[in-house]
Structure 1
Amino acid sequence: MEPDTAETATTAPAEPGAQPGPDVANPEEILRGAQDIALSLADRAQALLASLMRPWMAYQLGIALALLVIAILLGRLIAPRFREWLRTRENWPKWRLRVLLLLHRRLTLILFVALIWPAVWIMGDVTWPSRSYLLGIIAQLASAWLAIALATRLITNRFLRILVRYVGWVWVTLSILGLADDAQDLLDSAALDIGEVHLSLWLLFQAMVTLALLFALARFLSRSTSAGIRRNQDISPSMQVLTVKFVQVLLYGLAGYIGLKAIGLDLTGLAVLSGAIGVGLGFGLQKVVSNLVSGVIILLDKSIKPGDVISLGETFGWIDTLGARYTSVVTRDGKEYLIPNEDLITGQVVNWSHTNEYVRLDIYFGTAYGDNPHKVRKLAIDAAQSVDRVLSFKPPVCHIVGFGDSSIDYILRFWISDPSAGLTNIRGNVYLALWDAFHENGISIPFPQREVRLLGDPAPDPDTPPQGGQPS
């Protein structure tokens, strides 16, 4: 009898020269294995429900529910008093207040854990172990849930915190109930084998949890290190920014590398891929890379640092932050300009506080020809010195710069040390001081005048000058 066609096709030898393909698992085998594991989980769940129907299990459930009600009532009684007590702790460190606030939010669960463990110990001493078995499981679950809820508060990202918390609750519940191995086999059965790489849902789950925890730890260490660096007065502001960025890149890079190695991924094959990606990014992201390199150069040469007052084109303000791609410049009117770092390297930038914070300002004015120039100069210098922000150890000076059509022209120069407080306002205050000094001493500020005469009008007396200034 001739062999069956399907068997012939299955057992037929490979053709000469054929290359073996990647080891990809048979979908039917994956489905069959998943069904077996799912049936095993269902049988265990059915057995667990059957055990819960026994009388002593019902008693333990009743005790657990009673303890939960007591914990809720105690929480409602203690929580308001605890909150009022926290409000009186004004001088405590912030981290201590945050920990106490976190405990306040989980007060009911903390009280339930504190009540159920003594019940488990008492039941274990006065009766058989089976009479406290379910209470022990509930106590372990409550303690594990409380520990996960407190630990995940270190994760600042809300979505990631919720994801890690709920995944942790599910996994610790399966572990305590003895279903973790079956769940792991079920997740591992849904896999794709490509060569020596085994990609499964279990591997993805491991990678997600491991990377989330490592990145949370890296973020915590980065913040702690950054706070210590910024408190160090011996490090310049630009070097502080550079050091903080370097520490952040180092910590997050180590977290990613350790996380991928911990789940068993071979990273040697990524070298060629990363090189190809680097070439593509070099062509497609030239501006981004240029801004990144420019930011590093700015931090290294210390030409611009946080707090400096700069002018770039029509933008005048002070440096708020130095980012990896752009620099934030805040103006006096509250606008925040995000200037690419490349523009600060290639363009002409006026740094008003590069080597020191002293800035000289000039204002121009004129007085009538009938006023004594020596007296005008002295009054102008005294008026400038009377303004608060004008520096006294770098005294103002006043010089004649020309004889105009209707006035003698002067320049008044003075110094300030706080350009970030504004330039227009200090000029306006000096002008007001000049006005008050000239008004008190009879110094007139002329302005050009024009005369309109109609034909036939008598000519004016040449010995009578017009009021308010010199005619032009």
Structure 2
Amino acid sequence: MNPDTSAATAEMHTAFLSLLAQAEAALATVLRPWMGYQVAIVVALFLVASLSAHFFRARFDTWLRTREGWPKWRLRLGLMVNRRMRMIVFVALIWLVYSVMREVTWPSRSYLLGIVANLATAWLFIAFATRLIVNPLLRALVRYGAWAWVTLSILNLTDEAQGLLDGIAFTMGDTRLSLWLLIKAIALLTVLIAGARFVTTAGAASIRQNDDISPSMQVLAIKAMQVVLFGAAFFTGLKLVGVDLTGLAVLSGAIGVGLGFGLQKVVSNLVSGIIILLDKSIKPGDVISLGDTFGWIASLGARYVSVVTRDGKEYLIPNEDLITGQVVNWSHSNEFVRLDIFFGTAYGDDPHLVRKVAVAAAKSVPRVLSDRAPVCHIVGFGDSSVDYILRFWIRDPTEGLTNIRGNVFLALWDAFKDNGISIPFPQREVRMLRDPAEAQAAASALD
């Protein structure tokens, strides 16, 4: 057998025996006569807390429903307090009873009460703290793991438990990985990442509420804060566990090679996203056109931009396409957009009247701006009509362009009908030649 394996097995066996001995000693202490009434006090306090919780929970729930103006995080905290009302009342009662008994009797007569009070307080704090973890499975693992470790700490069994877990290990080269190291790494990383997530969520809400920061800079600030805090939490957790970070230099070199060959597009999109946020060329809420896609920007991501069209479709356009392609931003510097529509009228209609009627018809449409008056000009003389262009301005491109053009065309139709202005259409005259001699003469004339 490998000497290292034998030593680890012997160490684990010794730790287990020590842990068992301490458990037997603690059990013998609990079975002493003066411990019985302390157990009865704990049970009685738990029953009183259960009955009192029903009374307090109903009134607290009624009071909480009247807090309509509170932010969501405060309402969620109130719901957590309401759900944990029995434990909160139990902790308050047992600490009160323990403090009184410490003053009126010997410490040994309240020893068990002190342990239960500490355990209940620690369990209650862990229950509240683990609510910061969103994933239910991870939250349950962290909660029960923390409860187990706090229980061992309060019972002074941490050294034995640590020795037992540390004995379960395997070696990879010069690195020894034990179950204790793995548990400690998971616990520290979970706590640090949960804290970083809480800080980034609160910071992002504050940044979004600041009207002095442009939307694009808000997104950039939030992304930068997330990268810094989550990166710091990850590397700090590894450092606290005892992982040598200098060994990551080789890993970072391998990652760099992988990025150079396999992740060129991903890195290009990431860099393009940073450029877009810095130069403020587009921002959430802008109306853009890219190829056949027309819509407004719903969000800016690290890899893509979400564009929502008028028909409800959401396009995820890579950031690189917005940098290298031609993008029409309808609301880059201002919200005003000019639209042109073309039409024609018959040669018998007065062009001065046509222009006047067309301008008045455009002004009658609600979305057309009156402070930037529509204009109408003749652009040519066609085969069967006099051709015009009607130009007008709007300031809400997010409401659609096709619909406003349709409304102006409809207003023109009604206005032309009321004023006797006709809209011509091409006419063709076809003659049927039945006499062959006549057809031959017509063909010779064409030649």
Same fold (TM over 0.5): yes
Q: Secondary structure at the match of 1:413?
A: strand
* Aligned with 2:107 (options 129, 145, 150): 129
How far the C-alpha of 1:135 sits from its partner, in A, is 1.6
* Aligned with 1:378 (options 356, 363, 374): 356
| Cα distance in 2 between the residues matched to 1:209 and 1:309 | 46
The alignment-based identity, stated in percent, is 68
Q: Secondary structure at the match of 1:333?
A: coil
Q: Secondary structure at the match of 2:271?
A: helix
Query: Pairwise mapping of residues 56-455 of structure 1 onto structure 2 (< 5 A)?
Result: 56-193=34-171, 197-448=175-426
| Cα distance in 2 between the residues matched to 1:85 and 1:234 | 36
Q: Secondary structure at the match of 2:128?
A: helix
Answer yes or no: is 1:36 the counterpart of 2:7: no
Bigger mean CA offset, 441-450 vs 60-69: 441-450
How far the C-alpha of 1:119 sits from its partner, in A, is 1.8
How far the C-alpha of 1:34 sits from its partner, in A, is 1.3
Which residue identity is paired with 2:80? L
Distance verdict in 2 for CA 1:54–1:449, change over 3 Å? farther
How far the C-alpha of 1:128 sits from its partner, in A, is 3.1
Which residue identity is paired with 2:402? T
CA deviation string 1:44-74 (max 9, x = no partner): 2233333333343232222212211211121
CA deviation string 1:255-294 (max 9, x = no partner): 1222222222221122122112211232111211111121
Kept in 2: contact 1:319–1:327 (CA 8 A): yes
How far the C-alpha of 1:78 sits from its partner, in A, is 2.0
Q: TM-score, normalization: structure 2?
A: 0.90
Q: TM-score, normalization: structure 1?
A: 0.86
Kept in 2: contact 1:25–1:192 (CA 8 A): no
Q: Secondary structure at the match of 1:42?
A: helix
How far the C-alpha of 1:449 sits from its partner, in A, is 5.3
Q: Secondary structure at the match of 1:362?
A: strand
Bigger mean CA offset, 399-408 vs 201-210: 399-408
Which residue identity is paired with 1:150? F
CA deviation string 1:131-168 (max 9, x = no partner): 22212111111000011111222333433322221111
Gaps of 5+ in 2: 435-447
Q: Secondary structure at the match of 1:64?
A: helix
| Cα distance in 1 between the residues matched to 2:29 and 2:196 | 45
Structure with more helix by fraction:
2
How far the C-alpha of 1:445 sits from its partner, in A, is 2.6
Bigger mean CA offset, 83-92 vs 221-230: 221-230
How far the C-alpha of 1:42 sits from its partner, in A, is 2.2
Which residue identity is paired with 2:352? H
Aligned residues: 434
Task: Tell me the C-alpha RMSD between the 2 structures.
Answer: 2.3
How far the C-alpha of 1:422 sits from its partner, in A, is 0.8
